[in-house]
Chains A and B, each alone.
Chain A
């Protein structure tokens, strides 16, 4: 309890304009990380309840599930705060930024600690509103538009959440989550289903599942990069928290189709998310779409867990839940890292467009290596953290075969195929990001004059990169850390064999990233020795790249991001519906070409075929309603009179 109060005060008091202000959230994050770990290993504690009136009572309660999320938030907050010391130096409104930053973090903590409906909704709204201000922080027209989309989407989500809480309150009569949980067992199935669907829609909007993802690629790039890291790393995780809290914890084990639905949503989100990410040239939009993909992967784990639980396979369900939570933790770390890296790049090249970057690995060596670590982790390649959680997710999906129902048997392995597809696409996507923006020759003057970022920014990234490695090679200890959360969600625990080997006895398969790492190092030394012995020491000559004999290559002759993904655009044209424009201007038609302008864009399917019609519909309704408000006072008086008469008629 004291921890909490101790951390809260410095968090709020960061109004000072100095950049050192970020030290306070940093310390706050450290204490809260300890607090989160403490919550994981103790029975649920009531932190504080402040009752203002009998109805309006603030209850903060921490259990293992909130402990896990606090831990995740704290890790990212810690490094992002350090990063922000350097990053916000050149910002215009440092003070406001510091203040909003702290409130934002505080509200996320409040969300995961809320013990009843009122507290939850108020924290949730605070979080949404503060993040709206942060999205529009740059005060450009583009961020205003992004902010609007974000505000609309998030409130649609909130509306569903309020509705689901009202239903729960109406049928159980309680506002406290623990009371609701005990009372909810007697509810009819139809009500439970409605609550489940509302939870998926409401929290899914925040998490960014497809088709409710549309605000992510708008809002994340618009916000300053330290904020995008927090939003993408942890804020969208509160959506996952909501789904876990309501759909898994409060509602308990439901019918099988709930899990199947989550699985399908996860598979669709992951595949489409990464497909859209591949087409982006804006580095931050790309990362935002990639968050959609990762939320999908998390949901694959959670969905598998729900399916297995409803088939009575509790131990396997625990493994699947472990996979989901592990990926939640991992995604917070590597996506935070990638957004911070992208922030550094944008900060020093002043462009978000990858086609204008290139060659940064030589100019920003540290940022480059951390970005590379982030990319390898997000591609789930050994021996970083993403590898472990995706491996567990694969195994969980394969367990689906052990369930009784045929649907689960078919859907779960197909989810695995979707995951494999996603994995391959993710590798292509990050080869593109890293290859185009960091490798080769600088493609513009901006890129040529890029400078390495300040030490605090590097430190912030270094911490996350190190964690990627640590959580990647010590999976067993990591899982032990959050197994209480798994226990309270699924009623079972995944116990690995220890010694940093992940071993699943049900299928006699194991994975040990540490062993892989050791083996790789050993072979590396052997290879170096072998080459030296056989080949001897040879001179290295430096020359130009192969240019087919033309005098010299220019940066404009390099492969571009557009060219890199062109085959994908052609192969998946049913999904992308690409449109291209070629404008040729001639000096002497058709022989002498003056210039050729090529532009191509893809159709954002959901924006065009779902959101636009809806927005147009609302516009047209609004246009009609407009006539009611003519501005004439007489008319308004007339309305009041009419309402009064109607009321009287109904009352009598």
Chain B
């Protein structure tokens, strides 16, 4: 039972994307598409025929699958509505939060390879930029994780979520850094623009340029899942209040309610950030990401010095 909570992420992730778009449309004074639009998109894409480039190799064909399954495996390791996955017999033995980051990296690595596979400059550009962003983001995520892991005495996500630390100085600093990382990793403004299809400014979209049909559906869906997963990770690490510690139906219901509110809050935050910021020039990114890296370092130092 508690092992099946990853299905929540698989099923509801397109909804979250739809909600963010709706929020954004509202903030920008548009009506916007319905919140179920991402589902329709995925189904439509799944039913379309594919056009592949003759230059591509098998790398291009396996990448959508690798990205898709690695995202789901990552989802299996995350406590969504209950932390009762600490028992040895369940999915949490697969890995901890560090393994999770590396499983994400597996997908990212293959995506960057596939972008180079078609032999176009756009793919190469997207691939190169994505790698740069991940170089700047990865250490930051790790440091935020270190702060929470050291505080919880474990890198096991369920343990971290059970701690219930809220808003100690170190956690607040780490939270800010982590939010920047989430924005960068989900390809949102100010780092990347998810709505652009102007070749020269794309990062994430640039890598997907050659994809169509089923493969594109898988890539898009994985992207939605990754987004919801990162929100869940932030929720687990920084405000786990309300998450169930067992699988009693009553506490699960409460936990689901609290979880939905928290994710909706995150989605709202994303919409607000996207609507109020402009996309940064690519070479200004190091100052934003470097700044939040300093925050992450400070959070760790704060924890070491004052112990909370």
Contact = CB atoms under 8 A, between A and B. Distances in A.
Q: Please determine whether chains A and B interact with each other in the same assembly.
A: yes
Interface of A: 358-359, 361-362, 372, 376, 379-382, 387, 390-391, 394-395, 398, 401, 406, 409-410, 413-414, 416-421, 423-425, 427-428, 430-431, 434-436, 439-441, 497, 501, 503, 507-512, 515-516, 519-520, 523-524, 527-528, 531, 534-536, 538-548, 553, 555, 557-560, 563-568, 570-571
Nearest to A375: B109
A388 to B, nearest CB: 10
B22 interface: no
A611 to B, nearest CB: 28
B260 interface: no
27 contacts: A361-B57, A372-B59, A382-B99, A387-B102, A391-B98, A398-B155, A410-B304, A413-B300, A420-B142, A423-B102, A424-B135, A431-B109, A431-B127, A501-B93, A510-B92, A510-B95, A512-B94, A538-B47, A538-B48, A539-B49, A540-B49, A542-B52, A542-B54, A544-B54, A545-B210, A557-B121, A567-B282
B41 interface: no
Contacts of B137: 424
A214 to B, nearest CB: 25
Nearest to B300: A413
Interface residues of B, number: 87
A410 B108 CA distance: 30
B69 A523 contact: yes
Nearest to B53: A545
A424 B138 contact: yes
Given A381-B109, A427-B131, 20 more contacts: A361-B58, A381-B106, A417-B139, A427-B134, A431-B116, A439-B113, A439-B119, A440-B55, A508-B154, A519-B91, A523-B72, A523-B73, A544-B55, A546-B209, A558-B121, A558-B124, A559-B120, A559-B124, A564-B128, A570-B283
Interface string B289-308: 00000000100110010000
**3 closest cross-chain pairs (CB), A and B:** A559-B124, A435-B116, A420-B142
Interface centre among B48, B96, B119, B138 (most CB of A within 10 A): B119
B226 interface: no
A534 B119 contact: no
Contact of A431 (B76, B112, B156, B301): B112
B98 A394 contact: yes
Contacts of B58: 361
A440 B121 CA distance: 10
Contact of B155 (A380, A381, A390, A395): A395
A428 B282 CA distance: 17
B135 A425 contact: yes
Contact of B113 (A406, A434, A563): A434
A567 B132 contact: yes
B245 interface: no
A423 B142 CA distance: 11
Contacts of B23: none
Contact of A559 (B43, B123, B297): B123
B204 interface: no
B300 A381 contact: no
Nearest to B101: A420
Contacts of B51: 540-543
A401 B73 contact: no
Given A406-B304, A431-B116, A546 B124 contact: no
B73 A519 contact: yes
A508 B50 contact: no
Interface in B125-154: 125, 127-129, 131-132, 134-139, 141-143, 146, 149-150, 153-154
Given A379-B105, A559-B116, A519 B76 contact: yes
Interface string B60-79: 00000100111011001000
B283 A567 contact: yes
Nearest to A528: B65
B46 interface: yes
Contacts of B16: none
Interface of B: 43, 46-59, 65, 68-70, 72-73, 76, 86, 88, 91-96, 98-99, 102-103, 105-106, 108-109, 112-113, 115-125, 127-129, 131-132, 134-139, 141-143, 146, 149-150, 153-156, 159, 199, 209-210, 213-214, 217-218, 282-283, 286, 297, 300-301, 304
A394 B101 CA distance: 12
A431 B69 contact: no
A202 B129 CA distance: 40
B73 A516 contact: yes
Nearest to A555: B119
A520 B70 contact: yes
A498 B26 CA distance: 54
Contacts of A511: 93-96, 99
A7 B93 CA distance: 43
A401 B93 contact: no
B128 A509 contact: no
A434 B122 CA distance: 18
Contacts of B54: 542-544
B115 to A, nearest CB: 8
Interface centre among A503, A528, A536, A538 (most CB of B within 10 A): A538
Contacts of A512: 93-95
B135 A421 contact: yes
Contacts of A541: 49-52
Contact of A527 (B69, B76, B112): B69
Given A424-B138, A516-B73, A527-B69, A543 B52 contact: yes
Interface centre among A417, A421, A541 (most CB of B within 10 A): A417
Contacts of A434: 113
Contacts of B146: 398, 413, 416-417
Contacts of B156: 507-510
Contacts of B124: 435, 558-560, 563-564
Given A512-B94, A553-B119, A568-B135, A435 B127 contact: yes
Given A413-B143, A524-B65, A559-B125, A545 B46 contact: no
Contacts of A417: 139, 142-143, 146, 297
Contacts of A520: 69-70, 73
Contacts of B106: 376, 381-382
Contacts of A546: 53, 118, 120, 122, 209-210
A545 B127 contact: no
A547 B132 CA distance: 25
Contacts of A542: 51-54
A567 B120 contact: no
A466 to B, nearest CB: 19
A544 B128 CA distance: 22
A379 B109 contact: yes
A414 B125 CA distance: 31
B121 A509 contact: no
Nearest to A401: B150
B90 to A, nearest CB: 10
A398 B93 contact: no
A439 B59 contact: yes
Contacts of A507: 153-156
Contacts of B109: 376, 379, 381, 427, 430-431
